[in-house]
Amino acid sequence: MSKQFDVIVIGGGPGGYIAAIRAAQLGFNVACVDEWKNARGGPALGGTCTNVGCIPSKALLQSSENFDQAGHHFADHGIEIKGLAMDVAKMLGRKDAVVKQNNDGILYLFKKNKVTFFHGRGTFVKASDAGYEINVAGSTPDTLVGKHIIVATGSNARALPGAPFDEEMILSNDGALRVGAVPQKLGLIGSGVIGLEMGSVWRRLGSEVTVLEALPTFLGAVDEQIAREAKKAFDKQGLKIELGVKVGEIKTGKKGVSVAWTNARGEAQLLEVDKLIVSIGRVPNTIGLGAEAVGLKLDERGAIVVDDDCKTSLPNVWAVGDVVRGPMLAHKAEEEGVAVAERIAGQHGHVNFNTVPWVIYTSPEIAWVGQTEQQLKSAGRAYKAGTFPFLANGRARALGDTTGMVKFLADAATDEILGVHIVGPQASELISEAVVAMEFRASSEDIARICHAHPSLSEATKEAALAVDKRTLNF
């Protein structure tokens, strides 16, 4: 006997579990099917983000940052530490505990919101008048029928051809978060978000880190001025980033991994490392979904084809998050999940892609929202720019972290904020003000006229807004 639901969500990552909760809040009878297993084979809700993405990476970034601070910066405050050491096993144990708190938190939220959870793989079987039949294979096997289906099956790490992940020597994000001892030499392919975050973790703990990046420019999607500033800081820290490279043969042996590569001048090179992290992007995941059984349309990358409202090629089947077009970010997945649940309820759910913030949690942090200067130039849009360095911010001096700046880009005629770019301390938190401002279509003068607490890093945001009109007060 099949179980009937108004809404079945396949995938319990940030896109799926949030969609399930919102749909339940709106009065629907909701099921969520997720197959992720923890080390004991039990459920581990939260998807990539909670298990091998956002949450564990930020836990390791925090631990390694604390170690770096204690080793290199506490002395400036008069704090002397003798015999400083890193217990990697304890750091990993703490990370696992943080992950578990989040897994359990989602189970609790499902109970609280009366979402029925099925642990296993959800596969489309067929469409009928009652809805779509979904087979659940796993620890709670079942047959479900849903009037509406929301697919939120996420993404997987992309491997380099000829160098599959073994998670011992050649690591995806999964293995990169489980390295049991600090590698003496660590290689990374791809200086994108994962490359920089994971490279930072292990460099802070003592690894000699080399990052090989195919593109000739560093962080091509980031505002050029901000990317230059970040690169200067990473160079100073000793993160070795090679741009414009061509990666050749990768071999694993007993002692480590060797990577043949060609530098930007066309010279053949060999990189020998203990571990290699490959972080060259991610691919949408529809493995085992049974898309073909119901004729769900995928594009050439394997992503589920959706329109602006996350509607797929099939009636009442929706898809959100990493498995569809757009940035692969947890908060984008969540926003789409909420919007779809509201659309199913006949409401007008909406996601503004122009105000989705990006954050790279390195030190300095990099965060931005809206358009970069190079995008405005190529669109021929007349704009004004204003920057303010953290060097001139009292709170940053007191913190002992004056790297970087805040940069505003505003329309030349209307002064509407078009983009805000930050490299520096707490950029991840500071960017929220810019997101709110852009969502309300504020002008740079609006931010410049708002009272900001003193001393705070947010004063750099106000000053950068003032700089658009060339009237900074503290620089």
Least distance CB 399 / ligand FAD (angstroms): 22
- The upper half-sphere exposure of residue 124, i.e. CA atoms within 13 Å in the direction of its Cβ, equals 23
Q: Which two tokens stand for residue 410?
A: 């505003």
- Asked if residue 110 lies in contact with residue 20, where contact means CB atoms within 8 angstroms, the answer is yes
- Return the bridge partners of 142, or none: 136
Q: State the binding partner of 192 from ligand NAI, ligand FAD, none, CB within 5 to 8 A by kind.
A: ligand NAI
Task: Name which of 2 and 258 has its Cβ closer to ligand NAI.
Answer: 258
From the list 19-27, 97-105, 222-230, 323-331, the region that binds ligand NAI by CB under 6 A is 323-331
Residue 233, CB half-sphere, CA atoms under 13 Å: how many? 21
Question: How far apart are CB 88 and ligand FAD at their closest, in Å?
Answer: 18
Distance CA(354)–CA(415), nearest Å, equals 17
Select the binding partner of residue 331 from ligand FAD, ligand NAI, none (C-beta < 5 to 8 A, by kind).
Answer: ligand FAD
**Of 132, 361, 368, 408, the one binding ligand NAI by CB under 6 A:** 361
Q: Give dist(CA 44, CA 471) in Å, integer.
A: 52
Name the H helices within 128-207: 173-176, 193-204
Piece of the chain touching ligand NAI by CB under 6 A; list 133-141, 212-220, 313-321, 371-379: 212-220
**In 73-142, alpha helices (H):** 88-113
Go through the chain and tell me how many residues it has. 475
Residue 394 C-beta: closest distance to ligand FAD, Å: 29
* Structural contact between residues 134 and 10, judged by C-beta atoms closer than 8 angstroms: yes
Residue 421 among the catalytic residues: no
Q: Which among ligand NAI, ligand FAD, none contacts residue 389 (Cβ within 5 to 8 A by kind)?
A: none
Does position 467 interact with ligand NAI (CB under 6 A)? The reply is no
Q: Is 131 exposed, middle or buried (0-12, 13-18, 19+ CB in 10 A)?
A: buried
Give 356's Cβ-side CA count (13 Å radius): 16
The option from ligand NAI, ligand FAD, none interacting with 372 (CB < 5 to 8 A, set by class) reads none
Residues that bind ligand FAD (CB under 6 A): 10-16, 33-36, 47-49, 53-54, 57, 121-122, 152-155, 173, 194, 285, 288-289, 321-323, 328-331, 333
- 324 near ligand NAI (CB under 6 A): no
Strands in 190-254 per DSSP E: 208-212, 240-242, 246-252
Near ligand NAI by CB under 6 A: residue from 193, 376, 422, 460: 193
Just list the catalytic residues.
454
Binding stretches for ligand NAI (CB under 6 A): 160, 189-195, 197, 212-215, 247, 279-282, 327-329, 359-361
